[in-house]
A and B are shown apart, each in its own frame.
Chain A
Amino acid sequence: MSVLTPEVRVLVGKEIRQLLRSRGALTTSLILPVLFLVVVPALEYFSFGTGSRAGRGGGTLSGVSPPGLTGLKPIGVVTYYLVPMFTALAGVLMPSVTAIYTIVQERERKTVELLVALPVRLTDIIYAKLAATLLIALAVMLPLITVQAVGALVLGAAGPGWVAGELLLLGCAIACSICVSFVLALLARDFRTSQQINGFLLMPILILVNAVLLVLPPAVKVPVLAALLLLAGALALTVAVRRLTFERYLS
């Protein structure tokens, strides 16, 4: 059965309209990605660039550095460690934080009763919220990662392969986050618990991101991390489908 039923498509329109009118959701949706995908990388490149010009950034990291950073120049650390880390952070955090607004608010305000009264399935309601979250995430983050990629290419810090890796990483991080949001939809009763659950679910993922980027060599770290994020998402989805019921959203 298709997830994008006509009912889901109608509800996605409603969700997007509401998200665009929600100051809190919109601010969260924009601030995190702008910071993580553009501002922080730009500052890092700028500081390492000026450091290089001042003769402080030209060497490579010594043997005491983590294996994943060994042999990298400081600008390489930005390109192969900091930027992918912030890309993964943006991809993992932003959709799930946005989902809290659309999913938990509907439940807290009891407006979900209006939806249940309409000719839609409970699954349609949840899928529509996740689809709207995904669309907003893509609409916000694709232009930002394009800016980031162009910046890295112009600076000569990376090549087209790295750009492709960044896109892959962002896509997998978003997919992981949407799956985590699915669990969130079925477990969280209010904003507070949703943030606690979100933190509980995302913290191990963020530790995993950092560990992979620090330990694995540059050539494999992004593909491996992307695969692990997909795996974490699949795990969350499996738990949601097998252990939780959609009825939880109403209880």
Chain B
Amino acid sequence: MPSALAFAETSKRYRNGKLALDGISFAVEPGARACLLGPNGAGKSTAIRLLEGALAPSAGRVWLLGEEVGTPWYLEARRRTGVVPQGPGMYPDLTAGEYLGYVRRLYGRGDLAAVVEVFGLGDQLATRMAQLSGGFQRRLTLAAALLGEPELLLLDEPTVGLDPVATRDVHDYLATVMRERTTLLCTHNLAEAEKLCDEVVILNAGKVLVHRSLADLRRESRPRLRLAARQGSQAMLAALQSRGLSAEADGDAVVLAAEDARGQAPALLRALLADGLDVYECTPLEASLETMFLEAVGARPTPALPRGERVSA
């Protein structure tokens, strides 16, 4: 079975000379829910645009549902793909119902009534698109993407610009619709990615830095230890420093990386208590996607407590 989507040595250089993608290669297999992460300018939206067929690669090849982008058969693959664009404009002269009608005709199929019901758009069908609230506008783009009953979903920052309530609504919809479909979610929101996806592709400066499952990344990432004392983070940092350990302040607490957080925590805790610190928190932390992401893009190196290091009381 072919990959749901694939890039092979794909590069994209814009007319202004900017190299947005630099020979990326990765594939997302059918059924996977992958997120595409990366800082601004990493090339995420360019990758989505290439999959949409809106841009042509400068070098390399791109496939969507087994069809190479740009071939005569590609359009059929596009009809099996739903796309939620990043913050699109809304027509002031078309109603939501008219727009969905055109979308249905372009996909050549789709149960309009069912999609309208799922996204609660029944009362909005006669409203001009530009007059819909931000939340309903996003629901409309989701409804349009799902109207053709796609096998594959490409989501480009689906919650950017939404308030927390609308974001939660969209997350709920996505959690439901992504269960049955291959998905590529392009997002800045790491919590969103962590909540909705099980595979991560991290892009930086047009290159793929990481392509792993979240579970593998968690297994391989360095565990950390979060410590807090009544005397505050500065006293805790000083106590750790006196033992040759460096950590980072995190609010009232400090965080330090440890090769074996659970194994080393008791000895460290005893030592800190013996130093007179009133420690009220000592928690081994599981690496969050944010930590893994920042480490991957080299944004914040975390100081490490080497495995087996003895903490003297």
Name A's B-contacting residues (CB within 8 A).
7, 10-11, 13-14, 17-18, 21-22, 109-114, 116-122, 245, 247-248, 250-251
Residue among B49, B78, B92, B99 making CB contact with A119, cutoff 8 Å? B78
Given A247-B55, A247-B56, A250-B49; A118-B89 close (CB under 8 Å)? no
Main secondary structure of the interface of A (DSSP, over half): helix
Q: A18 to B93, alpha carbons, bound, how many Å?
A: 6
Residue among B15, B92, B98, B141 making CB contact with A117, cutoff 8 Å? B141
Q: A11 to B105, alpha carbons, bound, how many Å?
A: 10
Q: A113 to B86, alpha carbons, bound, how many Å?
A: 8
CB neighbors of A among B65-90 (8 A):
75, 78-79, 81, 83-90
Name B's A-contacting residues (CB within 8 A).
14-15, 49, 52-56, 75, 78-79, 81, 83-94, 98-99, 102-103, 105-107, 141, 144-145, 148
Q: Is the CB of B84 within 8 A of A113?
A: no
Q: Is the CB of A117 within 8 A of B88?
A: yes
Q: How many A-B residue pairs have CB under 8 A?
A: 83
Q: Is the CB of B89 within 8 A of A121?
A: no
Q: Is the CB of B90 within 8 A of A111?
A: yes
Question: Whole-angstrom distance from the CB of B100 to the nearest CB of chain A?
Answer: 11
- Nearest CB to that of A247 among chain B residues? B55
Q: Is the CB of B93 within 8 A of A116?
A: no
Q: Indicate the member of A14, A22, A118 with the most B CB atoms within 10 Å.
A: A118
Q: Is the CB of B98 within 8 A of A17?
A: yes
Which chain A positions have C-beta within 8 A of B107? 118-119
Q: Is the CB of A114 within 8 A of B55?
A: no
Q: A10 to B75, alpha carbons, bound, how many Å?
A: 15
Q: Is the CB of A18 within 8 A of B94?
A: yes
Residue among B83, B84, B106 making CB contact with A7, cutoff 8 Å? B106
Question: Whole-angstrom distance from the CB of A111 to the nearest CB of chain B?
Answer: 4
Which chain A positions have C-beta within 8 A of B144? 114, 117-118
Question: Whole-angstrom distance from the CB of A43 to the nearest CB of chain B?
Answer: 35
Q: A146 to B26, alpha carbons, bound, how many Å?
A: 61
- Nearest CB to that of A22 among chain B residues? B93
Which chain A positions have C-beta within 8 A of B102? 10-11, 13-14
Q: A245 to B57, alpha carbons, bound, how many Å?
A: 13
Residue among B87, B98, B148 making CB contact with A110, cutoff 8 Å? B87
- Nearest CB to that of A125 among chain B residues? B54
Q: Is the CB of B83 within 8 A of A117?
A: yes
Question: Whole-angstrom distance from the CB of A169 to the nearest CB of chain B?
Answer: 33
Which chain A positions have C-beta within 8 A of B106? 7, 10, 118-120
Q: Is the CB of B105 within 8 A of A117?
A: no
**Known A113-B89, A116-B49; further 7 A-B contacts with Cβ < 8 A:** A10-B105, A111-B91, A116-B54, A117-B85, A117-B141, A119-B75, A247-B55
Q: A250 to B52, alpha carbons, bound, how many Å?
A: 12
Q: A119 to B85, alpha carbons, bound, how many Å?
A: 13
Q: Is the CB of B53 within 8 A of A251?
A: no
Given A118-B103, A121-B53; A113-B94 close (CB under 8 Å)? no
- Nearest CB to that of B150 among chain A residues? A119
A-B pairs, 6 with minimum CB distance: A110-B89, A113-B88, A117-B83, A109-B89, A119-B78, A113-B85
Q: Is the CB of B52 within 8 A of A116?
A: yes
- Nearest CB to that of B107 among chain A residues? A119
Residue among A14, A22, A109, A250 making CB contact with B55, cutoff 8 Å? A250
Q: A121 to B70, alpha carbons, bound, how many Å?
A: 9
Given A10-B106, A14-B102; A111-B88 close (CB under 8 Å)? yes
Q: A111 to B87, alpha carbons, bound, how many Å?
A: 9
- Nearest CB to that of A5 among chain B residues? B75
Question: Whole-angstrom distance from the CB of A4 to the nearest CB of chain B?
Answer: 15
Residue among A18, A110, A251 making CB contact with B88, cutoff 8 Å? A110
Question: Whole-angstrom distance from the CB of B289 to the nearest CB of chain A?
Answer: 26
Which chain B positions have C-beta within 8 A of A18? 91, 93-94
Given A13-B102, A250-B54; A117-B93 close (CB under 8 Å)? no
Which chain B positions have C-beta within 8 A of A111? 88-91
Which chain B positions have C-beta within 8 A of A250? 49, 54-55
Q: A114 to B55, alpha carbons, bound, how many Å?
A: 15
Q: Is the CB of A114 within 8 A of B75?
A: no
Question: Whole-angstrom distance from the CB of B230 to the nearest CB of chain A?
Answer: 53
Q: Is the CB of A121 within 8 A of B85?
A: no
Q: List 25 A-B contacts (CB under 8 A).
A: A7-B75, A7-B106, A10-B102, A10-B105, A14-B102, A17-B98, A18-B93, A109-B92, A110-B88, A110-B89, A111-B91, A113-B87, A113-B88, A114-B85, A114-B89, A114-B90, A116-B49, A116-B85, A117-B83, A117-B85, A117-B144, A119-B148, A120-B106, A121-B75, A247-B55
Given A10-B106, A13-B102, A117-B145; A122-B89 close (CB under 8 Å)? no
